[in-house]
Amino acid sequence: MESMDRYPEAQEFITADAVINDVVDNEVANGGIVSPDSIANEVAERSEVLTEDQKILTQKYITCIQGFTHGAVIKTLEDGVGGMYDGSVFIAEETIRIGSSVQSTIEQTEETMAHEAFHKDHLHTQEYITSPLADEGAFVVIGGEEFSREVFIEGLTVLKTGERYVSADYRNRMNLVLNSIYKSDVSLDEVVYASKSHDLTKIDDRSRKNQKHYNMSC
């Protein structure tokens, strides 16, 4: 354990926030990539100097960090980016730093992790079966609304994993997806299934229109 000289002399005034943020800053220094367990273990060790009420806060934080799955790692990301999935799951250093409170940071971290885990579980970096008309226009059309790949995938992900800690732009994408479903004759479950199966022809207005025409002709 490091010397207590690095902390204020009045040990009773050391806070969970200060200990956690010091650990995060040191662990992810110089653009490094660290495991959630490394953060959790260091916070647990440092929390020995805290008062009991502050230890309770650090334990809640540790439980959150140790609950990470999907092989997520912590690293510094661009400003405003809380997490990223590019085949691997990354959670931003800033996401797990304490801001207004330990509890709000836990909630933000859990929502961010759910968002990135949804990307991974649904293989969002892989190719999709799309309407033959997709090459000439939108990635998918639902309820008359045309979507690019990014807007559709991010909007659906926010819809399924939470909107409290995302940007206004991401909330707008979520609302576009939700409103398009309301205007269509497909359900949210059908949209999620089509996305997960990577066959968007099942929900695309253009493909469904052609299929209906074919069925009527038969």
More confident of the two residues 198 and 68: 198
Q: What is d(CA 25, CA 143) in angstroms, rounded to the nearest whole number?
A: 46
Strand partners, 91: 74, 83
Q: What is d(CA 82, CA 156) in angstroms, rounded to the nearest whole number?
A: 17
The per-residue pLDDT for 165 is 94
Q: What is d(CA 21, CA 23) in angstroms, rounded to the nearest whole number?
A: 5
Alpha helices in 29-92 (DSSP H): 36-46, 52-66
DSSP structural state of residue 199: B
Give the pLDDT band of residue 207 (cuts 50, 70, 90).
confident
The per-residue pLDDT for 14 is 86
Q: Exposed (0-12), middle (13-18) or buried (19+): which is 124, by Cβ within 10 Å?
A: buried
β-pairing, 89-92 vs 140-142, is unpaired
pLDDT digit string, tens, across residues 169-190: 999 999 999 999 999 999 999 9
Q: What is d(CA 37, CA 204) in angstroms, rounded to the nearest whole number?
A: 42
Of 123, 216, 108, give the one whose Cα is nearest residue 163: 108
3-state secondary structure string across 121-165: HCCCCCCCECCHHHHHCCCEEECCEEECHHHHHHHHHHHHHCCCC
More confident of the two residues 34 and 210: 34
The per-residue pLDDT for 69 is 64
**Mean pLDDT over residues 29-39, rounded?**
86
CA atoms 141, 144, 148, 151: torsion sign:
negative
8 Å CB contact between 204 and 128 = no
More confident of the two residues 217 and 126: 126
**Mean pLDDT over residues 76-101, rounded?**
93
8 Å CB contact between 170 and 158 = yes
8 Å CB contact between 200 and 206 = no
pLDDT digit string, tens, across residues 41-68: 999 999 998 999 999 999 999 999 988 8
Q: Exposed (0-12), middle (13-18) or buried (19+): which is 61, by Cβ within 10 Å?
A: buried
The per-residue pLDDT for 214 is 35
Q: Is the pLDDT of residue 7 over 90?
A: no
